[in-house]
Amino acid sequence: MATNGAGELNVAIIGAGPAGYYTAEALTATDRPVHVDIIDRLPTPFGLIRAGVAPDHQSIKNVSRRYEATNTRENVRFVGNLALGRDITLTELRGLYDAVVLATGAGKDRPLGIEGEDLNGVIGSAAFVGWYNAHPDYTDLNPDLRVASVAVIGNGNVAVDVARVLAKTAAEMANSDLASHAAGSIHGSPIRDIHIIGRRGPLEASFTPKELGELNQLENCVALVDGKQLPDPSGDADLSGAQKKNLAALRAMALNSADAKPVRLHLQFYLRPMAILGDRCVCGIRLEETRVEGGKCEGTGVTEVLPAGLVVPCIGYRTSPIPDVPYSARYGCFENEDGRIAPGLYCVGWAKRGPTGTIGTNKPDGAEVALKILNEVSTSRKEGRDGLDRIIRERDLHIVTFQNWKKIEAEEVASARNGAPRRKLTDVHEMVRIAES
């Protein structure tokens, strides 16, 4: 029996991350009758809230409660474990729904583009963070952490997250949902030096003060900065509030003593990677000193080699292309005009803007795209969710509903140990089995 009401606008949102949920929230906040299916390739909702945000930053993950509230609306449905491109095509979805919104994020690492980046032991942050956050795609990554020195490339919060997760002790991570397979490797590792390498200077770094400040409060690890790389305080009056706070944190680190704690975290500026060195496995990285003049960063020709057994580039992400959807190689996201790709086809979040902004940035973004859809798309007699359910039955697809995701979540919470909020499951088959039990 058909369930899509006459005059109802049927929208499919592909991707159950923040951008997808904020769009669904805005679409269903008006008087217009709308039904939204939020489709995700994973059996679990919430995108990078689950698989990106650091495992020891649980309070940030609480934003998912807001998305849960959206999911309790009777005209919003989560359809997990259904992948665009694997289980269903975009053409099929566009044939079923009045509007399709691509909220697929930017899940692939942007390459460094230098020699040696394919060596074993060079692992981009999408994969590395996915591994310690129990993303099913990266469970088997198995990075070799039996190394003394790690180079983390980039001067944003992802680099800070990676360094902090590597530096924290098991006790410091007790209240986190760090993947069990990662906890064993990280806490048994002999890492003694972690280097965060930035091409530009401390004023150009995009760390946020809170995240940077945390690096100076680690139990086993001392944060170190060469005071000569920090600007003179006489120029502080012209700086933004965030720059001033970051400089205060860096100046405090510059006073630390290298032998204060067993592990050292070096924040090094004005260095750009030239080549990753090694035979089969990485053993170091060649860096060139830089200077920043008139906003431009240029090499000085002076190089040095930093020994490192693991290199984690944290330099940004790209959206995975989808056949027949115009793609901007420059920005690593879909070509769009304020979220509109083609009639009835939209994008939002990182798939629209590229990998920039915080979770909150996706809210106005989702609202803007929702408004566009409500203004531009007229209701048709397309099948909507009934048509999707027919395809799911015909293909014997094992989708996960929101109620069934709650069973997975209950299992994760019930099996948590030592104060952890959950023990994340990583095997999709196991999750589907629990969902269907």
Ligand X SMILES: Cc1cc2nc3c(=O)[nH]c(=O)nc-3n(C[C@H](O)[C@H](O)[C@H](O)COP(=O)(O)OP(=O)(O)OC[C@H]3O[C@@H](n4cnc5c(N)ncnc54)[C@H](O)[C@@H]3O)c2cc1C
Residues interacting with ligand X, by CB under 6 A? 14-20, 39-42, 47-48, 52-53, 57, 60, 83-85, 103-105, 107, 129, 158, 161, 349-351, 357-359, 362
Q: How far is the CB of 135 from ligand X (least distance, A)?
A: 9
DSSP string over 31-49: SS-EEEEEE-SSSS-STHH
Read off the tokens for 132.
């310690």
Q: What is the CA radius of gyration of the chain?
A: 23
What's the burial of 247, exposed, middle or buried (CB within 10 Å: 0-12/13-18/19+)?
buried
CB 350 within 8 Å of CB 333: yes
The length of the chain is 437
Considering the complex, state which of residue 224 and residue 315 has its C-beta at the smaller distance from ligand X: 315
Considering the complex, state which of residue 128 and residue 270 has its C-beta at the smaller distance from ligand X: 128
Q: What is the largest CA-CA distance in the chain?
A: 74
Considering the complex, state which of residue 42 and residue 99 has its C-beta at the smaller distance from ligand X: 42
| b (16+ CB within 10 A) / e for 333-347 | bbebeebbbeebbbb
Per DSSP bridges, beta strands 345-347 and 340-342 are antiparallel
Q: How far is the CB of 23 from ligand X (least distance, A)?
A: 9
Residues 6+ apart with CB under 8 A from 209: 242, 245, 246, 249
Q: How far is the CB of 60 from ligand X (least distance, A)?
A: 5
Considering the complex, state which of residue 41 and residue 195 has its C-beta at the smaller distance from ligand X: 41
Read off the tokens for 227.
């005071």
DSSP string over 182-243: HHHHHHT----EEEEE-SS-TTT----HHHHHHGGG-SSEEEEE-GGGSPPGGGGGGS-HHH
Q: How far is the CB of 207 from ligand X (least distance, A)?
A: 12
Q: How far is the CB of 359 from ligand X (least distance, A)?
A: 4
Considering the complex, state which of residue 200 and residue 363 has its C-beta at the smaller distance from ligand X: 363
Which candidate, 133, 132, 260, places its Cα nearest to that of 189? 132
Q: How far is the CB of 349 from ligand X (least distance, A)?
A: 2
Considering the complex, state which of residue 309 and residue 339 has its C-beta at the smaller distance from ligand X: 339
Closest residue to ligand X using C-beta atoms? 17
Q: How far is the CB of 196 from ligand X (least distance, A)?
A: 14
Q: How far is the CB of 156 from ligand X (least distance, A)?
A: 9
Helix (H) or strand (E) holding 333, with range, is strand 333-334
Written as one letter, the residue type at 97 is: Y
Q: How far is the CB of 408 from ligand X (least distance, A)?
A: 14
d(CA 194, CA 270): 17
Per DSSP bridges, beta strands 99-102 and 282-293 are unpaired
Considering the complex, state which of residue 276 and residue 347 has its C-beta at the smaller distance from ligand X: 347
Considering the complex, state which of residue 132 and residue 270 has its C-beta at the smaller distance from ligand X: 132
Considering the complex, state which of residue 18 and residue 339 has its C-beta at the smaller distance from ligand X: 18
